[in-house]
Amino acid sequence: MSVTLVRNIHTLVTMNAAREELKDASLLIRDGVIEQVGRSTDLQTAADEVLDLKGRYLVMPGLVNTHHHFYQTLTRAVPAAQNVDLFGWLKALYPIWARLTAEGVRASAQLCAAELILSGCTTASDHLYIFPNDATLDGEIHAVQETGLRFHASRGSMSVGEAQGGLPPDSVVEDEADILRDSQRLIETWHDNRRYSMTRVTLAPCSPFSVSPALMRESAALARSYPGVRLHTHLAESEPDVDYSLATFGLTPGDYAESVGWLGADVWHAHGVWLDDRAIERFAVTGTGVAHCPCSNMRLASGLAPVRKMRRAGVAVGLGTDGAASNDATHLFHEARQACLTARVRELDAAAMTARDALEMATLGGARVLGRDDIGCLAPGMAADFICIDLDRASLAGAQHDPVAALVLCDVGGVDYSYINGRCVVEEGRLTTAELPRLIETVNRLSAAMVRA
The helix/strand/coil state of 103 is helix
Q: Report the candidate in 422, 297, 317 with the shortest Cα–Cα distance to residue 364.
A: 317
Stretch that binds Zn ion, among 42-50, 316-324, 354-362, 444-452 (CB under 5 A): 316-324
Q: How far apart are CA 322 and CA 385, in angstroms?
A: 22
Q: Which stretch binds Zn ion (CB under 5 A): 46-54, 137-145, 209-217, 322-330?
A: 322-330
Q: Is 390 in the site for Zn ion (CB under 5 A)?
A: no
Residue 282 CA: distances (Å) to CA of 263, 313, 451: 8, 10, 42
Q: Which is nearer to Zn ion, 329 or 440 (CB)?
A: 329
* 61/208 with CB nearer Zn ion: 208
Tell me the torsion sign for CA atoms 46, 50, 52, 57: negative
DSSP 3-state helix, strand, coil percentages of the chain (rounded to 5)? 40, 20, 40
Q: Which stretch binds Zn ion (CB under 5 A): 37-45, 52-60, 306-314, 318-326?
A: 318-326
Going from the C-alpha of 369 to that of each of 226, 311, 372, the distances in angstroms are 18, 13, 8
Q: How far apart are CA 116 and CA 222, in angstroms?
A: 30
Query: Contact between 335 and Zn ion (CB under 5 A)?
Result: no
Q: Which is nearer to Zn ion, 322 or 416 (CB)?
A: 322
What CA–CA distances, in Å, run from 134 to 101, 356, 436, 443?
A: 6, 43, 24, 17
DSSP-derived letter for residue 73 is G
Q: What is the rounded distance in angstroms from the CA atom of residue 437 to the CA atom of residue 417?
A: 19
Rank residues 326 and 447 by Cβ distance to Zn ion and give the closer one: 326
Count of residues interacting with Zn ion (CB under 5 A): 1
Least separation in angstroms between residue 67's CB and Zn ion is 6
Interaction residues for Zn ion, span 50-79 (CB under 5 A): none
Which C-beta is closer to Zn ion: that of 207 or that of 433? 207
Piece of 115-123, 315-323, 409-417, 436-444 that binds Zn ion (CB under 5 A): 315-323
Instruction: Specify the residue, 319 or 425, whose C-beta has the smaller distance to Zn ion.
Output: 319
Residue 322 binds to Zn ion (criterion: CB under 5 A):
yes
As measured in angstroms, the least distance from the Cβ of 69 to Zn ion is 6
Q: Which is nearer to Zn ion, 295 or 389 (CB)?
A: 295
Interface residues with Zn ion (CB under 5 A) are 322
